Amino acid sequence: MAITIKRAKNERGIKLGCLNIGDTFLYDNRVGVMVDRNGHTFPLDLLTCGEMHHRGSYPYGPTLEPEAIVLPISIELTYKVVG
């Protein structure tokens, strides 16, 4: 999957806990989205389709805490169904 990210000048990071369900963000050069499953809100890594983990512990280890600083982004996904 090719991902191109363009960062706006002076764009500042915010705490992960400030994002709403459906908001997309960038963390450690990985794209994530906030999702809800059975009343549990968590950051989903769009590359692995699993919970997003701290840098250095990827793909296992502690997941991101609400205090983690992320960069909110706006993305458009294009996909193709094969088969």
User: Which two tokens mark 49?
Assistant: 């389709």
> In this predicted structure, what is the pLDDT of residue 1?
52
- For residue 4, tell me if it sits in a domain: no
User: Model confidence over 46-75: pLDDT tens digits?
Assistant: 888 888 887 766 666 788 888 999 999 888
Asked whether the predicted pLDDT for residue 4 surpasses 80, the reply is no
Residue at 81 is within a domain: no
Tell whether 46 is covered by a domain.
yes
Is 53 part of any domain? yes
Domain that holds residue 54: 14-73
Count how many domains the chain has: 1
Task: Give the domain CATH number at 19.
Answer: 2.30.30
Which residues does 24 contact at the CB level (< 8 Å), separation at least 6? 31, 32, 33, 72, 73, 74, 75
